[in-house]
Amino acid sequence: TQSIHRITSGQVVIDLQTAVKELVENSLDAGATSIEVRFKEYGVESIEIIDNGSGIASGDYEAVALKHHTSKLESFEDLSSVMTFGFRGEALSSLCALCDSVTVCTATSTEAPIGTVLEFDRAGKLVSKSGKVARQPGTTVAVTGLFKPLPVRRKELERNAKREFGKALNLLNAYALVPCAKENKGVRLTCSNTIKGRKTVQLRTDGTPSSRSSLSALWGPKALENIVDLDLEFDVEAEKSVLRRQGVLDKGASRSIRVRVSGLTSKFVVGGGRSGTDRQFFFVNGRPCLPSKVQKAFNEVYRTFNATQSPFVVADFIVPTDSLDINVSPDKRTVFIHSENSLIQALKTALEEKFSSSRA
């Protein structure tokens, strides 16, 4: 069962980026307003996430890293409307199975300034609980030797350390930019990488809940030039197959889904935009995701106005939770939006208007 656990874990945590994603989302779920991510040797040696969230209640110590333990899901019906990032209780248990060590230091607001250090074995079993260290309310999770139990994947991580680190950093940029992260409460996000004892700060935001201030914090005030608010709103007709899946069987039935898109994008200017698509970030209800067709739509429309360049994009698709199906891909990166084709059409129309009105 150890090896089966390792295989299924390897589907939840597929690379450095998803490891970081799971840990950051746990901090966000815990209501953190400050999150520090520390990499050592690009994350190959260790990743440490320090938050000021709720902390872990002592009654949960034994179970937090066991498979399928989650403190977030009240009932199965909640799955279609979950507002927390995590809900399957697989991240910590997967990390335990895939790393040399997983150490947690945590304190709730009543326990602080005293925290407890927890260590788990590969099966996620609590193996040591040593108190009492100084800890403000919150949780620190430190993982070392990611993928050591999977030699091939470990080799890959070591070989591509910089690229893998770049992907993780890109995801942290997305969290820094998310327009409506968790009730619009800003999160102070810091990220550093220490190589051979030398620490360099990679990213720092001040916690202002605005995409513009984060954009400026990430790439300098110049990055705000020619940026306009992306504020779109349109209706999407639910496709027949979706209605059928939802149990709506009447022949003439129809249902439209209201979609709002909020964020920032490049204004159309000659020579504007960017030559690459590295600064394009997409979210569904505040969750970073990779909707490749949506990204393609943005680029296509922008390019019809501006022959070669691509726009900067921060776009959060705000849709009713019952039109989402978030329980599909194990790494949760793929968020499926029902009726995607009609959505793309409506989006393109709205973008064409947007870009033509921002035409310089």
Pick the stretch among 84-92, 142-150, 253-261, 348-356 that binds ligand ADP (CB under 6 A). 84-92
Residue 262: name its binding partner from ligand ADP, Mg ion, none (Cβ under 5 to 8 Å by kind). Answer: none
Q: Which of 17, 46, 139, 266 binds ligand ADP (CB under 6 A)?
A: 139
Count of residues in contact with ligand ADP, rule CB under 6 A: 25
Q: Using CA atoms, how far apart are residues 253 and 243, in angstroms rounded to an integer?
A: 8
248-277 burial: b if 16+ Cβ within 10 Å, else e: eeeeeeeeebebebbbbbbbbeeebbeeee
Which residue in the set 7, 60, 241, 260 belongs to the binding site for ligand ADP (CB under 6 A)? 60
**Residue with tokens 């569904």, as numbered in its chain:** 284
Task: Report d(CA 215, CA 296) in Å as an integer.
Answer: 22
- Minimum CB separation of residue 309 from ligand ADP in Å reads 39
CB of 118 to ligand ADP, least distance (A): 11
Burial of 67 (0-12, 13-18, 19+ CB in 10 A): middle
Q: What are phi and psi of 55, to 5 degrees?
A: 80, 170
Is residue 116 close enough to count as binding Mg ion by CB under 5 A? no
Single out the residue of 5, 38, 88, 332 in contact with ligand ADP (rule: CB under 6 A): 88
Find the helix or strand (DSSP H, E) in which 49 lies.
strand 46-51
Query: Should residue 17 be labelled a site residue for Mg ion when binding is judged by CB under 5 A?
Result: no
3-state helix, strand, coil in the chain (%, to 5): 35, 30, 35
**Quick one: which of 9, 17, 18, 27 contacts ligand ADP (CB under 6 A)?**
27
Question: By rule CB under 5 A, what count of residues binds Mg ion?
Answer: 3
- Looking at 26-34, 217-225, 259-267, 290-298, which segment touches ligand ADP (CB under 6 A)? 26-34
Q: What residue type is 345 in one-letter code?
A: Q
Q: Give the residues lining the site for Mg ion (CB under 5 A).
A: 26, 86, 91
Q: Give the residues lining the site for ligand ADP (CB under 6 A).
A: 22, 26-27, 29-30, 51, 53-56, 60, 64, 69-72, 86-93, 139
